[in-house]
Amino acid sequence: MADRDESQKKIEEYRACIDSLDEQIVDLLNKRAEQSLAIRELKPSAQMGLYDPRREEEILERLDTLNDGPMYGDDLREIYRTILKVMKEIRA
């Protein structure tokens, strides 16, 4: 029982840490969305198409160099594919 209580207490602590990480992640994702919106606005005058598959590939490839684990490259790419999809479709 003491063991169970101890483990539950530790889980609560780790969850509080995750909550704090989520605050920072949400903040950074919104900052990233701001930059994406600013780029989208500039693309017509830069004579660039709205969708740039080469840039998307560049971002996905760069993830491997940034990744120190414990996530595997596949895990991170799965998350980033959703991030890039959302950023592409985001409403101003």
What is the contact surface with a copy of itself in residues (CB under 8 A)? 3-4, 6-8, 10-11, 14-15, 17-19, 21-39, 42-43, 45-48, 55, 59, 62-63, 66-72, 75-76, 78-79, 81-83, 85-86, 89-92
Burial category of 23 from C-beta neighbours within 10 Å (exposed 0-12, middle 13-18, buried 19 and up) = exposed
Taking the complex as a whole, the smallest distance from the CB of residue 49 to a copy of itself amounts, in Å, to: 12
Q: What is the largest CA-CA distance in the chain?
A: 67
Which residues are within 8 A (CB) of 40 and not within 5 positions of it... i.e. 6 or more apart? 50, 92
Taking the complex as a whole, the smallest distance from the CB of residue 53 to a copy of itself amounts, in Å, to: 15
> Closer to a copy of itself at the Cβ: 57 or 62?
62
